[in-house]
A and B are shown apart, each in its own frame.
Chain A
Amino acid sequence: NAGVTQTPKFQVLKTGQSMTLQCAQDMNHEYMSWYRQDPGMGLRLIHYSVGAGITDQGEVPNGYNVSRSTTEDFPLRLLSAAPSQTSVYFCASSYAGLVYNEQFFGPGTRLTVL
Chain B
Amino acid sequence: QQQVKQSPQSLIVQKGGISIINCAYENTAFDYFPWYQQFPGKGPALLIAIRPDVSEKKEGRFTISFNKSAKQFSLHIMDSQPGDSATYFCAASIGQGAQKLVFGQGTRLTINP
Contact = CB atoms under 8 A, between A and B. Distances in A.
Contact of B103 (A44, A94, A96, A107): A44
B43 interface: yes
B49 A100 contact: yes
Interface residues of B, number: 26
Contact of B89 (A42, A48, A96, A106): A42
Contacts of B45: 105
Contacts of A43: 44, 89, 101, 103
Interface stretch (B59-67, B74-82, B91-99): B91-99
A105 to B, nearest CB: 3
A50 B97 CA distance: 9
Interface size class of chain A, counting residues whose CB lies under 8 Å from the partner chain: 20 to 34
Contacts of B42: 107-108
Interface of B: 4, 6, 9, 32, 34, 36, 41-46, 49, 51, 89, 96-106
22 contacts: A30-B97, A35-B101, A42-B4, A42-B6, A42-B103, A43-B44, A43-B103, A48-B100, A50-B97, A94-B99, A95-B97, A96-B97, A98-B96, A99-B96, A100-B49, A100-B51, A100-B97, A101-B96, A101-B98, A102-B46, A105-B44, A108-B42
